[in-house]
């Protein structure tokens, strides 16, 4: 059995932490019709806080998310996954860097609740981000660029799932059953659909120059619920987010993680 480095364990804990958050988001989505509540990542962390030893669990999730952020930075800046230096490869790495930024906000939020630090904000922050972007020079175009990037990420997630592109990053044992494939395909496709809807929200916010029109997971699910057969579609997507959470646990166990190289010190330096 290959010995794992501390960085690899940290990265795997990050995938497990992200998977935990998505499992909780799915649970909130499925039960929101009965008990209320908003199915988003920060509300999911609030649920953890309300459990016995909630602050301890939140602290562990925060540490895991820090590991996930470190791995994302390694993927983006050190090209740990070995993406080619093409436009597509650079685009993937840029998306990974954006992912690190997004999860940094969630990690800070989890840590602030774990250590009871003030200044917690319960919203997902899409409106705040949109408002900040619009206030910049060429702001509406920056916001539209974010929308295009999110739509592109959604399409990429669906393709990665349906086309089994996730397999080249996983070392799944040959004895594993087909259930893992179903989890990966369903989870990635569902999250891709949510990204597509969210990206359209950002594009519309840029078109009407109204940051309040931007939305996140909970807004995407609310929009799905309003469609014909919305209740059924809502359940399908919500269960798909559960599958994506389980996909996070699959990645925690089987993801191929190459720690970024650390340059060796030069012999004789300073002597």
Give residue-wise pLDDT tens across range 66-115.
Answer: 999 999 999 999 988 888 889 888 888 888 888 888 888 889 888 998 88
- Predicted structure pTM score: 0.86
Cα distances (Å, whole numbers) of residue 206 to 18, 59, 134, 142, 147: 29, 36, 8, 8, 8
Residue of 125, 1, 12, 137 whose CA lies nearest to 70: 12
pLDDT band at 34 (very low <50, low <70, confident <90, very high): low
Q: How far apart are CA 252 and CA 242, in angstroms?
A: 16
Question: Which residues lie closer than 8 Å to 153 by C-beta, 6 or more apart?
Answer: 95, 192, 195, 199
Structure-model confidence comparison of residues 247 and 105, the more confident one: 247
Percent of the chain whose pLDDT exceeds 70 = 87
Percent of the chain whose pLDDT exceeds 90 = 34
The reported pLDDT for the residue numbered 48 is 87
The reported pLDDT for the residue numbered 97 is 87
Domain ranges of the chain: 6-254
């Amino acid at each position: 059995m290959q010995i794992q480095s501390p960085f690899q364990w940290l990265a795997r804990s990050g995938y497990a932490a992200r998977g935990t958050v998505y499992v909780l988001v799915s649970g909130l989505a499925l039960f929101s019709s009965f008990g209320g509540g908003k199915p988003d990542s920060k509300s999911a962390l609030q649920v953890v806080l309300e459990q016995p030893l909630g602050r301890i669990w939140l602290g562990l999730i925060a540490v895991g998310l820090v590991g996930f952020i470190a791995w994302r930075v390694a993927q983006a800046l050190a090209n740990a996954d070995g993406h080619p230096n093409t436009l597509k490869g650079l685009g993937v790495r840029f998306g990974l860097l954006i992912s690190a930024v997004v999860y940094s906000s969630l990690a800070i939020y989890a840590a602030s609740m774990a250590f009871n630090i003030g200044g917690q904000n319960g919203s997902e922050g899409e409106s705040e981000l949109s408002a900040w972007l619009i206030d910049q020079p060429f702001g509406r175009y920056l916001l539209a660029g974010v929308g295009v990037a999110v739509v592109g990420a959604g399409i990429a997630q669906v393709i990665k799932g349906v086309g089994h592109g996730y397999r080249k990053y996983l070392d799944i044992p040959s004895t594993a059953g087909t259930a893992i494939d179903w989890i990966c395909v369903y989870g990635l496709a569902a999250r891709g659909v949510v990204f597509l809807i969210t990206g359209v929200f950002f594009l519309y916010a840029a078109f009407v120059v109204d940051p309040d029109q931007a939305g996140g997971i909970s807004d995407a699910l609310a929009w799905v619920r309003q469609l014909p057969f919305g209740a059924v579609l809502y359940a399908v997507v919500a269960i798909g987010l559960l599958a994506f959470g389980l996909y996070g646990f699959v990645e925690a166990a089987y993801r191929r993680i190459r720690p970024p190289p650390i340059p060796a010190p030069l012999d004789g330096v300073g002597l």
